[in-house]
């Protein structure tokens, strides 16, 4: 597999995140040597190609407690890129900004979309958007953000000015609170709420920016070439050309239904993700859905991000706990807020206010 990439990387000259740029270039070198790539967090590693099909192996976040490696063929990544081109009816190069971890699908797809369309990708730390210089650097580019990043950027007039000049801002990876959505609408940002995952090579459903601006929530409608349905248990099932597979499966790269761990609902073609089925906490014989608790915590004023997990407890066997950022959040006020919205057993027994969710890593890590 030969990727003539000299001219492509030359267009990334204004990147400030050189670590991610070097990582991406290393991925291309490995593919050029005929190997597939393990997207290790530290640096990409060459691995043997399965069935001589060039592919990338991504590690999922393991929200159900078990991480796994998902294999996406180079062709599957191409199909995912074409899906975005079709959504926007593009016949021109796609220029992107990569500000998510490059070893995750969310970060890597910015490279793929630019590569297959002969566009360009800019590698930056998302906080660079708060700087006033290079006003036209982000013009007409697509960027993907998680809600916690958008939360921070909405505090900066410089960042808002830069984001307004973007062609589209894809927001996914976690629930976008009503507070963040409200501020983004007030700032008149071109927000596209989206739904996707490692197994689908990124987004498969999108809420159009006009729908978002008009106050519609959820993750919108399936993109071209994507089929979505609910199984008998209410889980979202997806079928599209970019479906990958876990290495331990005997699966192929064919189009098969992928059964997610997300419960959802659909109305008039618009989809909403309710919560996951693999994170339930059993506390004192009562089942607690962490996603539901997290969504309510995110509605509390000034909360940036949160993680609801469990700890062993003599009385409850498992007790519900919540890690919340920033550290300045008033735990007492948050508790009273949740008591008015949730059932008694759903309110966390303990709140840990911290500066960053990295401090909670290993605690049934979600975000």
- Rounded distance between C-alpha atoms, residue 229 and residue 235, angstroms: 8
Residue 351 predicted with pLDDT over 70: yes
Name the pTM for this structure. 0.82
Task: Note the pLDDT tens digit of each residue in 280-302.
Answer: 888 888 889 898 999 999 999 88
Query: Do residues 183 and 156 touch, judged by C-beta distance below 8 A?
Result: no
Rg (CA), the chain: 21
Lowest mean pLDDT among 7-21, 161-175, 352-366: 352-366
pLDDT given at position 367: 35
pLDDT band at 3 (very low <50, low <70, confident <90, very high): low
The domains found in the chain, sorted by start residue, are 6-276 (3.40.50.12780), 281-360 (3.30.300.30)
Which residues, in sequence order, are bridge partners of residue 322? 308, 351
Structure tokens that stand for 4 in this block:
């003539």
Lowest mean pLDDT among 123-132, 237-246, 273-282, 343-352: 273-282
Task: Note the pLDDT tens digit of each residue in 233-262.
Answer: 889 999 999 998 776 553 333 447 889 888
- Closest of 266, 246, 242 to residue 256, by C-alpha: 242
Residues 6 or more apart whose CB falls under 8 angstroms from that of 51 comprise none
pLDDT given at position 251: 39
Q: What are phi and psi of 78, to 5 degrees?
A: -65, -45
- Closest of 154, 221, 223, 215 to residue 189, by C-alpha: 154
What 3-state class would DSSP assign to 235? Answer: strand
């Amino acid at each position: 597999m030969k990727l003539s990439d000299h001219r492509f990387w030359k267009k990334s000259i204004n990147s400030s995140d050189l670590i991610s740029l070097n990582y991406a270039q290393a991925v291309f070198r490995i593919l050029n040597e005929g190997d597939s790539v393990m997207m290790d967090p530290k640096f990409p590693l060459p691995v043997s190609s399965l069935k001589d099909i060039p592919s990338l192996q991504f590690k999922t976040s393991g929200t159900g407690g078990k991480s796994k490696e998902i294999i996406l063929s180079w062709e599957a990544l191409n199909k995912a890129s074409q899906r975005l081109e079709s959504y926007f009816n593009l016949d021109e190069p796609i220029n992107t900004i990569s500000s998510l971890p490059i070893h995750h699908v969310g970060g890597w797809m910015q490279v793929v979309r630019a590569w297959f369309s002969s566009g360009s990708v800019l590698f930056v730390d998302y906080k660079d958007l708060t700087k006033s210089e290079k006003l036209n650097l982000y013009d007409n580019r697509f960027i993907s953000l998680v809600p916690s990043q958008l939360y921070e950027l909405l505090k900066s007039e410089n960042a808002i000015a830069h984001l307004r000049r973007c062609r589209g801002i894809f927001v996914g990876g976690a629930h976008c609170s009503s507070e963040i959505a409200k501020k983004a609408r007030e700032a008149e940002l071109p927000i596209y709420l989206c739904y996707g995952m490692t197994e689908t090579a990124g987004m498969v459903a999108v809420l159009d920016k006009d729908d978002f601006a008009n106050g519609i929530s959820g993750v919108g409608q399936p993109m071209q070439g994507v089929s979505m349905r609910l199984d008998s248990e209410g889980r979202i099932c997806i079928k599209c050309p970019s479906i990958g597979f876990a290495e331990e499966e005997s699966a192929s790269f064919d189009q098969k239904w992928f059964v997610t761990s997300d419960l959802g609902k659909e109305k008039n073609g618009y989809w909403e993700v309710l919560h996951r089925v693999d994170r339930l906490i059993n506390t004192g014989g009562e089942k607690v859905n962490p996603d539901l608790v997290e969504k309510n915590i995110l509605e509390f004023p000034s909360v940036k991000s949160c993680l609801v997990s469990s700890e062993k407890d003599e009385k409850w066997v498992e007790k519900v706990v919540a890690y919340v950022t920033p550290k300045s959040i008033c735990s007492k006020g948050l508790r009273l807020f949740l008591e008015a919205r949730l059932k008694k057993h759903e309110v966390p027994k303990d709140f840990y206010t911290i500066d960053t969710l990295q401090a909670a890593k290993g605690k049934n890590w979600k975000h």
